Amino acid sequence: MTDRPDFRPEPRAPKGFQDRRARDVLVERRILEQVSAVYERYGFEALDTPAFEYADALGKFLPDADRPNEGVFALQDDDEQWMALRYDLTAPLARFAAQNWETLAKPFRRYAFGPVWRNEKPGPGRFREFIQCDADTVGSARPEADAEIVSLAVAGLEAAGLPRGAAVIKLNSRKLLNGLLTAAGATAPSQQLDVLRAVDKLDRLGPEGVALLLGAGRKDDSGAFTKGAGLAAPAISSVLAFVQSGGGTRRETLDRIAGVIGGSPQGDEGLADLDRIDMALKGLGVDEDQALFDPSIVRGLEYYTGAVFEAELLLETRDDKGDRIRFGSIGGGGRYDDLVARFTGETTPATGFSFGVSRLAAALRASGQARADTVRGPVVVIVFNADHMADYFAVAGELRKAGIAAEVYLGAAGMKAQMKYADRRMSPAVIMLGGDEISGGTVTIKDLDLGRALAAGVRDHEVWRNERPGQQTIPRGDMVAAVRKILEGERP
Amino acid sequence: MTDRPDFRPEPRAPKGFQDRRARDVLVERRILEQVSAVYERYGFEALDTPAFEYADALGKFLPDADRPNEGVFALQDDDEQWMALRYDLTAPLARFAAQNWETLAKPFRRYAFGPVWRNEKPGPGRFREFIQCDADTVGSARPEADAEIVSLAVAGLEAAGLPRGAAVIKLNSRKLLNGLLTAAGATAPSQQLDVLRAVDKLDRLGPEGVALLLGAGRKDDSGAFTKGAGLAAPAISSVLAFVQSGGGTRRETLDRIAGVIGGSPQGDEGLADLDRIDMALKGLGVDEDQALFDPSIVRGLEYYTGAVFEAELLLETRDDKGDRIRFGSIGGGGRYDDLVARFTGETTPATGFSFGVSRLAAALRASGQARADTVRGPVVVIVFNADHMADYFAVAGELRKAGIAAEVYLGAAGMKAQMKYADRRMSPAVIMLGGDEISGGTVTIKDLDLGRALAAGVRDHEVWRNERPGQQTIPRGDMVAAVRKILEGERP
């Protein structure tokens, strides 16, 4: 059908995929530039891996997927091997590290950013392609490596534009809950996973709801029943006491955890890890308001083995209608000591932090922190007569040479449509060059910013009229300076 | 099989895909930053479209592919629709422009960069994923729009790091050859395509070889026969005279073309276009050594309808073994007035330029123009005693605050391995902080750059020993300044 010469496909992006215009692209690009600079200052090196991995290399670690390769975009190569688009940047890192382990300078510290793809049901604000930015240290078992990742996350988010106090990193260790459960006899991995899932709902269901999910199960408002983790009453109490032991300084939380965690080798290890993380954070200058311990933090992924962290946005944000919205998590990570071992058979300690770039950009915008809310258009040189094109281009060239974005209008429309074009592009000014100007060595500049300010009622029309015209004819040699004044918002 | 707990996949990137380390990533990132700045100064706005398009939207315009969707990575979505990864950035632009035509400020000028994917047989230096960078003007039929794209390509390549004279843009118009062929009675599109393919081999086969391909056909050295375009002798002479009419200034070439093109409406139109392009290039300040007319330029793609351009690298480049290599084309583009019409049914004039970012980076490197040949590692703070971690982190923090990349060594290895790590990372220096230094408020700095210079025989060992030690213990307050001196290559 597509071969028929009169076939007209409908122009549309695939379901769950989006086009992004300059406004969004530039905000995300600035985030990535700023964050990259911070990550490099921390000694992390850039790495790009391909969009595709062999499906067996991706493994079964996709969050919220029970079957291997569920939720990914996969296809078979010519040689019958299955390839899939990466769903995160961690699995490709594990593959790369395993492949190059012998020759890498270790610990291997890398950061990366780029699109990842998930073959999920799209929804509002839920896309199947989005940009992640990750930093990971592979080959260090020290809890200090976790602390450093947290410090880097704090510095990165701040550099991206989140002012201090706008976000906090919450830390926990998987070892604590695992130790507590093991001590309580709940050793089956599937049961421990059920516990993690129940704890993860603390925010939404409160302690009572979580208690039901930890025990026999819970019926929700619709009457649907969720089977529980099947813990006995004392274990339920311990878990609830543990997950609610956050608050205050990191030291205070540690003391409270020590009181409820009971004694188990794994739990003690988790406590000792957090203790060393706390000391390292002090050395790194990460204050209590930037990173705190919160035993209710779970992180959905199965593969974490030690410290887990979550970056939470604290800023009050509002949507386009002005309604308050809760952003919640804008990134997270933790320690995963078994991903490289999938390939090599040898446990390789690793820890890292990841954030969603579009999500952070949306948070910045919602909180009024993104500066590029409107993208300035170029100065537009109006075309009156095609015979004067060379003059128009020369004017545009002068402006560009001075670092000012400029273009000659190249459509076929008349004067009025050209003015409208410049206005829609958010151009600061148009330049008009008629026969008089060309022979007289002058240009006429019309200040569109002023026009917009007037239209918005920012300046009184009469006052403005007396002050100066929005349109002025000046010597060509003064053009760059005059446009700069408009761009800087200075008006005589 | 992948579900078996003892299954160990082999860690390897998929065939035809590559990992890129910091050295390459940073060169490409700088190219894109510089080029983006130029493109925005020309009034082009950023646009990101998804990796996927519906297969019917991509159409059959993949270069060198005869069947629709041949050579792309395609898969079927849940709703049975075929999606394919984009093979270039032009097809998605056409889809986007068609989809949003009513609401766009026109002409629509956008630039974009990102990976594209081609499902082709990989080979040495031939990858199935690579980064392209494009700029296009949609909605202007003016030849001046072509000239502006050429000017932007010239400015972009220069900003990317190619010094003036290192590359040239060669221009031609499809209308010229089409007019000539139509006048000669060769009007079938397939025959015209055969002529284009024959002309494209002028460089490789010379005029005699091309003459055979324009006529009955040609047998190559292996005895394989390629059927020719079947032109008659006079037409063959005209075509050869035309494609060899380049040389000298743009004006001289135009005069020569006028003499050989004969008279046809389409040919005259092509000549008039190039004439206006020449005038606009003058206005844009694009000199004869930056852009010239060359009638032998064809560009493989079927979809060009007017001007075509090719950016050719003139720099002498050498490969890793020091052998001279010919880079040839590093980018190209042209006018394509029918791509948007595929969707809308209405001809929409468009013109653009595209270059391969990895290819340009390789050209820069081969020509010695890429500055980031070695990627500097961070200053490494040596770990003697885990109890002093907070002090080590404080030192790293001081350096980072001063904008200097620094890290605390977080592996488990001893002093010697730590020094080796710092050397492999190309660290400028290591900082040593023992008990004496901590109690005395000092640091010991070892200058690794000096060590490398000595190892490379750059400085005489004895002279260096008298001048100063490569290792110095100084007050902590002087640390940042001392490291800066090493980074700047200043040694006392």
Give per-residue pLDDT as tens, A368-422: 766 545 788 999 999 999 999 999 999 999 999 999 999 999 999 899 999 999 9
A22-191+239-366: CATH topology: BirA Bifunctional Protein; domain 2 (3.30.930)
CA distance A319 to chain B (A): 23
Nearest CB among A48, A389, A400 relative to B283 is that of A389
Beta carbons of B47 and A25 less than 8 Å apart: yes
pLDDT in tens, A270-283: 999 999 999 999 99
Regarding the domain with residue range B379-487, which homologous superfamily does it belong to in the CATH classification? Anticodon-binding domain (3.40.50.800)
Question: Comparing A10 with B374, which gets the higher pLDDT?
Answer: A10
Residue A99: CB atoms within 10 Å: 19
Task: Write the DSSP string, A453-491.
Answer: HHHTTSS-HHHHHHH--SEEEEEGGGHHHHHHHHHTT--
Which one of B29, B39, B44, B48 would you mutate to disrupt binding with A, by most A Cβ within 10 Å of its Cβ? B48
Per-residue model confidence as pLDDT tens for chain B (492 residues): 345 567 789 999 999 999 999 999 999 999 999 999 999 999 999 999 999 999 888 875 444 444 445 789 998 888 888 899 999 999 999 999 999 999 999 999 999 999 999 998 888 878 999 999 999 999 999 999 999 999 999 999 999 999 898 999 999 999 998 898 888 888 888 888 889 889 988 988 999 999 999 999 999 889 999 999 999 999 999 999 999 999 999 999 999 999 988 788 999 999 999 999 999 999 999 999 999 999 999 886 678 999 999 999 988 777 777 777 777 889 999 999 888 998 999 999 999 999 999 989 988 887 776 654 578 899 999 999 989 999 999 999 999 999 999 999 999 989 999 999 999 999 999 999 999 999 999 999 999 988 888 777 765 555 555 555 689 999 999 999 999 999 987 654
Nearest CB among A50, A73, A406 relative to B13 is that of A50
The three-state secondary structure class of A97 is helix
pLDDT of A367 = 75
Nearest CB among A53, A283, A400 relative to B394 is that of A283
pLDDT in tens, B172-193: 999 998 898 888 888 888 888 8
User: What is the distance between the alpha carbons of residues B321 and B95, in angstroms, rounded to a whole number?
Assistant: 44
Which one of A151, A410, A424 would you mutate to disrupt binding with B, by most B Cβ within 10 Å of its Cβ? A410
Contacts of A59 (CB under 8 A, 6+ apart): A68, A91, A342, B2, B9
User: What is the distance between the alpha carbons of residues A326 and A338, in angstroms, rounded to a whole number?
Assistant: 34
Residue with tokens 């500066």: A371
Beta carbons of B51 and A408 less than 8 Å apart: no
Nearest CB among B14, B49, B145 relative to A53 is that of B14
Nearest CB among B19, B43, B283 relative to A407 is that of B43
pLDDT of B190 = 86
pLDDT of A469 = 60
Beta carbons of A3 and B60 less than 8 Å apart: yes
pLDDT in tens, B335-382: 998 889 989 999 999 999 999 999 899 888 877 766 545 788 999 999
Residue with tokens 């390292």: A280
Residue A331: CB atoms within 10 Å: 24
Nearest CB among A48, A56, A151 relative to B20 is that of A48
CB of B417 within 8 A of CB of B411?
A: yes
CA distance A306 to chain B (A): 17
A408: chain B residues, CB-CB within 8 Å: 144, 148
Q: Is A215 exposed, middle or buried (0-12, 13-18, 19+ CB in 10 A)?
A: middle
Which one of A117, A127, A389, A487 would you mutate to disrupt binding with B, by most B Cβ within 10 Å of its Cβ? A389
B342: chain A residues, CB-CB within 8 Å: 8-9
Beta carbons of A14 and B54 less than 8 Å apart: yes
B33: chain A residues, CB-CB within 8 Å: 33
Which one of B3, B41, B106, B385 would you mutate to disrupt binding with A, by most A Cβ within 10 Å of its Cβ? B41
pLDDT of A67 = 46
User: What would the two tokens of residue A372 be?
Assistant: 């590029």
Beta carbons of B12 and A57 less than 8 Å apart: yes
**Model pTM score:** 0.92
Please give the helix or strand (H or E) that residue B144 lies within, else none. helix B143-160
Nearest CB among A12, A41, A52 relative to B400 is that of A41
Residue of B nearest to A100 (CA): B11
User: What is the distance between the alpha carbons of residues B409 and B422, in angstroms, rounded to a whole number?
Assistant: 9
pLDDT at A13 over 70: yes
Radius of gyration for the alpha carbons in chain B, expressed in angstroms and rounded: 29
pLDDT at A464 over 60: no
Beta carbons of A75 and B77 less than 8 Å apart: no
Beta carbons of B19 and A148 less than 8 Å apart: no
pLDDT in tens, A181-212: 888 888 888 888 889 889 988 988 999 999 99
Question: Comparing A155 with A75, which gets the higher pLDDT?
Answer: A155
User: What is the distance between the alpha carbons of residues A376 and B152, in angstroms, rounded to a whole number?
Assistant: 19
Residue of B nearest to A411 (CA): B140
pLDDT of A446 = 95
CATH number of B22-184+232-366: 3.30.930.10
A389: chain B residues, CB-CB within 8 Å: 144, 276, 279-280, 283
Partnered with residue B431 across adjacent β-strands are B381, B445
Nearest CB among B8, B343, B424 relative to A343 is that of B8
B463: nearest Cα among B473, B472, B452, B454: B454
Sequence ranges of the domains in chain B: 22-184+232-366, 379-487
User: What is the distance between the alpha carbons of residues A254 and A240, in angstroms, rounded to a whole number?
Assistant: 16
User: What is the distance between the alpha carbons of residues B356 and B89, in angstroms, rounded to a whole number?
Assistant: 11
The three-state secondary structure class of B406 is strand
pLDDT of B333 = 96
pLDDT of B2 = 45
Beta carbons of A99 and B11 less than 8 Å apart: yes
Which one of A21, A31, A48 would you mutate to disrupt binding with B, by most B Cβ within 10 Å of its Cβ? A48
A425: nearest Cα among A384, A375, A381, A382: A375
User: What is the distance between the alpha carbons of residues A366 and B50, in angstroms, rounded to a whole number?
Assistant: 24
User: What would the two tokens of residue A222 be?
Assistant: 């619709």
Task: Write the DSSP string, B193-247.
Answer: HHHHHHHTTHHHHHHHHHHHHHTTEEE-TTS-EEE-----HHHHHHHHHHHT---
How many beta-carbon pairs below 8 A join chains A and B? 304
Nearest CB among B283, B375, B410 relative to A148 is that of B410
A42: chain B residues, CB-CB within 8 Å: 378, 400, 405-407
The three-state secondary structure class of A181 is helix
Query: What is the value of ipTM here, to two decimals?
Result: 0.91
Intrachain domains B22-184+232-366 and B379-487 with the same fold: no
pLDDT at A24 over 60: yes
pLDDT of A264 = 87
